Amino acid sequence: MQVTKRSVKNDWTLFTLENDRGMSLDVLDFGGVVTRLTVPDRHGKSENIVLAFDDIDDYKKNKPYFGALIGPVAGRIQQAMFTLGEKKINLKPSEGRHELHGGEAGYHQKLWNVESFQTDTEVGVVLQGSWNDRAYNYPGSVQVTVTYTLTNDNEWIIAYQAITDEMTPLTLTNHTYFNLTGDRTHSIAGHQVQMKSEGYLELDEELIPTGLIDSGNGGPFDFSRERLIKSGSGSGHKQNQVAGDGYDHYFLLKKGSAEQVRVKEPTSGRVLSMETTQPGVVFYTGNGLNEDFVLSDGKKAKKHSGFCLEAQGPPASLHHKGLPSIWLKPGEEYKHQTVYRFSMD
């Protein structure tokens, strides 16, 4: 087990976490961005399984949010507004009429204070930041701590903690794109997904939840049994078409379930399991990726060359009743954990 660090462009620092089983994780202090995650396949060959930019300067914009920490509110806030008591709060739109992933105030654009740690069984980094984003109309000053831990059990654990001095919406996630083949330009169509879900949030034409929870039973949104990603991206189902011929939907997870999401790639044998304390996950299949994004090794991204499992609370709860709340009050602590576990089949 070891942690190393080195200076890179823009006076940023890149931390490399390595365990004793051939797995490693590279993290930038800028945006908490994961730039590399190497995992062995069934033959013991370690390959990078996440999408990252070839030019580190591209993280200054990071339009696809490769590997980034997302906040203060992950996801889309309808019409870039919400109400706090009787007061209407208007944010700055960043995607059409809506705000996406914190907009210009997003945590993916912040320089975090980072400290590393190491024990006999795990290594990691602790990212800390304290921000007042009133310039973008978010209420309160928020203190955030995010810990990335790599274990000898081939687990990447993300622990989130935050407090605020004013009531404010907050839900954090990580936006890493995975491709378990080890070839980041290879389609994820053949990945097999299984999920313990209560249903998903229906989207309108602008990718905003309508408030309707659809059980998805029997169709391309039913992951109670293993389902190929391509069975949804090529289904012709209206909700797949709305999302750009794939998935970009919030799934409500069954409470207390172990291994809530399982993704298997048959060729490499790699398996990714996810468990989280969050109430749900956005399953996104890279529908907006294209060759404008140059990946590491000079390869170009393609549609469906990566998928995301963004464990988080639903920002739709700011506009629709009956969904888990994302409000954080003074005196309360935001505390969640997501575990990505890697194995072989």
Instruction: Identify which of 314, 25, 40, 4 has the alpha carbon closest to the alpha carbon of residue 176.
Output: 25
Q: Are 67 and 127 in contact (CB under 8 A)?
A: no
Q: Which helix (H) or strand (E) holds 229?
A: none
Residue 144 CA neighbour count, 13 Å, CB half:
31
As a whole number of angstroms, the distance between CA 22 and CA 160 comes to: 26
Q: Are 197 and 252 in contact (CB under 8 A)?
A: yes
Instruction: Identify which of 146, 205, 139 has the alpha carbon closest to the alpha carbon of residue 175.
Output: 146
Instruction: Identify which of 118, 132, 178, 162 has the alpha carbon closest to the alpha carbon of residue 340.
Output: 178
Written as one string, the DSSP assignment of 248-307 is EEEEEEPTT-SS-EEEE-TTT-EEEEEEESSSEEEEE--TT--TTSBBGGG-B--TTS-B
- The structure tokens listed for 273 are 């399991």
Which among 155, 265, 275, 310 is annotated as catalytic?
A: 310
Which among 108, 175, 191, 304 is annotated as catalytic?
A: 175
Instruction: Identify which of 273, 274, 265 has the alpha carbon closest to the alpha carbon of residue 345.
Output: 265
Is 310 known to be catalytic?
Answer: yes
Is 175 known to be catalytic?
Answer: yes
Buried b / exposed e along 92-120 (16+ C-beta atoms within 10 A): eebeeebbbbbbebbbbbbebebebeeee
Positions marked active-site: 175, 310
